[in-house]
Structure 1
Amino acid sequence: MNIAVIGNNYFGPKIAKELQRYDSLNIYIYYDTNGKTSDKIKFLINIFKIDVVYSFSASISGGGALNIALKFNKKIIQHFIGSDVLSAIEDFNNKKINYDLINRSQYLCIEQHLQEELKTININAITKLIIVAELPKVKHPKLPESFVVLAYIGNNNPIFYGINTIIKLANDFKEIEFRVAGLKNYPNIPSNVKLLGWVDMNKEYQNSVVHIRMPQHDGLGFSVLEALSYGLVVFRNYNSPHVNYFKNYDDLVMQMREVKNAFNKGKLEINYDAINFIENKYKKEFFLKDIINILLKDNNDS
């Protein structure tokens, strides 16, 4: 079969590559139909031999490649991954709904909380995770000598990813070094906040005690899985296994103080339960196989 992967232009190519590596009997090609005119043309030319369109990022309103897939009666699998859920909710509220697309699509989502959000707009999505990189396997993790907090803040939307909360924390915990990956520049940053840009995250995890992830809306949160694989304490504003979930800023401050005090007294331990959980549950091949089975399943199968 010929499977066209479209959607997110960061993860999409990686997914197509890994699917092809795992399944050499079928063809997986990524088309950046949102960003490249040449890929739009290639997709249109190849539509006659494409059997399945797999969009990693989903829509209820359609457009572009999804509309073409509809017109040519292709099997459509759409995978909600995060902020596309917010877009779908906005489209639903604005009555920008393509019911033909909804009825013809099989919807997936990468996290259970996304599934619950989608139910509010009458979209039934199956929770299916997919990861395209092996998570680190740390043989002998150890706590660093200094209490360091690591965060990721995207350059494209720092406020969405929580930069203001990082700044507030840094002012409330002046003795702590906050290291921020992703973001290169931002005004009025406290002296104990280091903006790193793109860096070797493995090295950063090794030298950190805490990882914070707190976007206004989240999907999988791959950095959460990476941090847990190193046994870090992970603060997150979404509840998931082996994280320290916080409800609001005061709750985050309270938990930060508790972890910092335990570290200062030598009572903080590596989170081995989290390490074992990640190692046993998050195996790339398992998720790839699961997605391939869905992509290749005949439309007439029950």
Structure 2
Amino acid sequence: MPAQTDTLPPTLPAPPTKNDGAERLRIVPVRRTGQWTTAVAVLALLVLALNSIARNDAFQWDVVAEYFATTAVLRGLGLTLWLTALVMVLGFALGTLLAVLRMSGNAVLRTVSWGYIWLFRSTPVLVQLLFWFNIGALYPRILGIRTVDLLGPVTVAVIGLTLHEAAYAAEVVRGGVLSVERGQIEAAQSLGLGPWRRFRRIVLPQAMRSIVPPAGNMLIGTLKGTSIVSVIAVQDLLYSVQLVYHRTYQVIPLLLVATLWYAVVTSLLSIGQHYVERHYARGTAGAR
């Protein structure tokens, strides 16, 4: 009979101590030396630039403060704001109609809408304004009234900018409507909702999420783009400061006055755009 031998159970490895686990799981942060070096260099350049602007007597900041809130400048600013608001309202009204025609099932309406958008997006807005300003050479009289009496500089500016903006607004509206899933519209139809209620309750709230950001950019672009009407002697903000520096020869400080006003209004519009976007983004990942 074979001799019995004592068998010992296999030895289990000792559990790791808390210090050993912490040693193995220690996370070393990434050293972003390049980013911090770049950030410091950018801040240094920014400080140097601001210091140069503030200490350079050629900017004539005292003259900027003198003319910043004068009656002539504020009157020009008021016309710029009025022109921007009117052009955006009329442009989006016409643009919405063009978008509906572009999505129509009628080939003729689609073609006419596409041709309009193609024409006004292919032509510089300055060329369009000069064309409308000289329309009297083609049509000396409209409805028995002399064209030069019927279409003044401000009217020409409204017509030219509106027709130009409508072409871009049409694509913005069309893109927003097409972003709404077709299945949701079909579901609303199955519930018996009419076309107007479908558009108001289903299509428009969702389309606005895609319409508001580019529309806000168009609004800011239109505000700055109105400065181009100064070439046809419309007394907007830019033309108003030009009248002053043509008399005083203080070109740089007067241009700074216009620049600061454009920056102030653009900043306010950007803040408003942010809150409008957040309103229409409620319930989505874009809400913040």
Name whichever structure is richer in helix by fraction.
Answer: 2
Q: Same fold (TM over 0.5)?
A: no
Higher Rg:
2
Q: TM-score normalized by structure 2?
A: 0.24
Bigger relative contact order, structure 1 or 2 (CA pairs below 8 A, ≥6 apart):
2
